[in-house]
Structure 1
Amino acid sequence: MNKNINTTLGLFYINSIIFLLSIFILDVNAETKIIAKRGDTLFKISKQYGVPLKELMYKNNFNDATKIIEGEMIIIPLKLNAKDNKNEYLNYKVVEGDTLYKIARNYNINLNDILSLNNLSNDSYIKLDQIILLPKGATYKIENRRENIKLASKKVFYHKTSRIENLSAIAEIHKISKEKINTLNKLNDPIKINPNIKLKIRRSKESKWLKYGSITINWTDWTYFDGNYVAQAKTKKNTYFYLAVNCTKRALNNTLDNSYWTNWYFPKTDFEFKLINDFCDQDFNF
């Protein structure tokens, strides 16, 4: 009799411990939300994200794991304990000014990996404080910003805003005073600058076009834009386009393809290597 009682009490304590542990695990869980794509079911999503099907069904209040749920917002519970992190993903919280491209660039990962991991498309809208999954091993390249600031302080004549930016931060990047920016651009001493504004950073002399292979570049038009550098250029047939340089990756981009930016590419010709070296490694004064 006593043996049966002890066994019962033992099972009770074991179950109690398991229950308490389950509460603890739930407490350290984070959540992200995705929009189900065509053909998605909870069963399919549970396999994709490695989440127990029963937990996924409970979290989203669904009774049928095989029902097509295209367009539905689905909550994905993600465990953040040390054991799970070894095999799972990193979580990134969206901040003001973020885009999927910017997150991919800052963490030096492929944009398609983020899209696939989060069930997103190129035109997906991300919200402030939204949790985005990143592949394990993604690290923020803070040194890129330092290099960009060092280069921007002496290489460019303009600053293009991609989001609402603080004027003090812009002045710090280019190592000039806020007063000078206000004077050059006839501003009324604002605190913040709206997106898509092109600010003059220093006085440039008249346009000077330099020839590089089959293209000619307006060397006094270099603009700092979100860590990259953009200038107007033209072909031998006087077709105007924009050329972009990323000094950290030593890569190029352009709008020659029907005025759309292409994918970043590495230099292949002698003049492309010379262009990268001249802009990223040499000082220029006009």
Structure 2
Amino acid sequence: MCVKTRTRGDTGWAMAACLASLCAWPSAGLAHGVEGGASQAPVWFTQALFLLAWLMYALGAVRQRPRFGPRLALHSAMLVAGLALFGPLDEWSERSAAWHMVQHMLLMVVVAPLLVLARPLPQWRAVLGARADAAWRTLHRLSRRPMACAMLHAVAIWFWHLPGPYLAALASPLWHVTEHACFLLSGWLFWWSVLRPGRAHTLAAAGALLFTVMHTGMLGALLVFAHLPLYSEAQSAMADQQMAGLVMWVPGGLVYLLVTVWAGSRWLGSLEATPLGRAQASPRR
């Protein structure tokens, strides 16, 4: 009975994803100023891949049952990702740098950490089998290097917020899909490295988070205090750009800062626990 209940619950979430994406399909098809045709193939491919990943999780949950917390995190991450990528927000991001930044921050500071907390690899592996083990092992090894993951994430953030790549992503569905893939993959690796670092890498995780707080705050401040609009010549472009910078600087920076404090306290706790553990382990005289 428990297996059937869990299965129905995961399948229901997956069906909800299908319906939501189908409803958003027309709006995604008109994104970036191009209507239909082969140029929309990257958008359609992304939607198909998104639905496939969610359905594979639902099928994998039948064989490898997740706990309630990770299951809720996975469905929440996929729901937010679907709304950010295929809902009205994607259209709004075409006309406003501020909404574009909201879309980016949802992917990087909401969806990516939720995917880490969801731990979906056992469920996906239950469907894919050993064919994807090489990819999982590569990602796992990279996640053991928090600063390297933070640098990779920083490169993705700064590159796609340069005027050239930013405008290219607005003009081309292919580059826009590539931009989102860079944010999600680098963000997933970054949060994996800092939320699940292991005792040996706790300090490195705190340092990676502090580095991320600093460089994202710097980028947000640059957008706020720039003397010229970087992405548009419209009359309202400057105010829109400043709002985009505030979105990255304040709510985005607050998330990174809170997790930095958590990681630092975890590291300090490990320092206090180590002498205590040795004292308890030493024999009494």
Q: TM-score, normalised by structure 2?
A: 0.21
Decide which structure has greater strand share: 1
Per residue, is there more helix in 1 or in 2?
2
Q: Using structure 1 for the length normalisation, give the TM-score.
A: 0.21
Q: Which has the higher contact order (CA 8 A, sep 6+)?
A: 2
Task: Please say which structure displays the higher CA radius of gyration.
Answer: 1
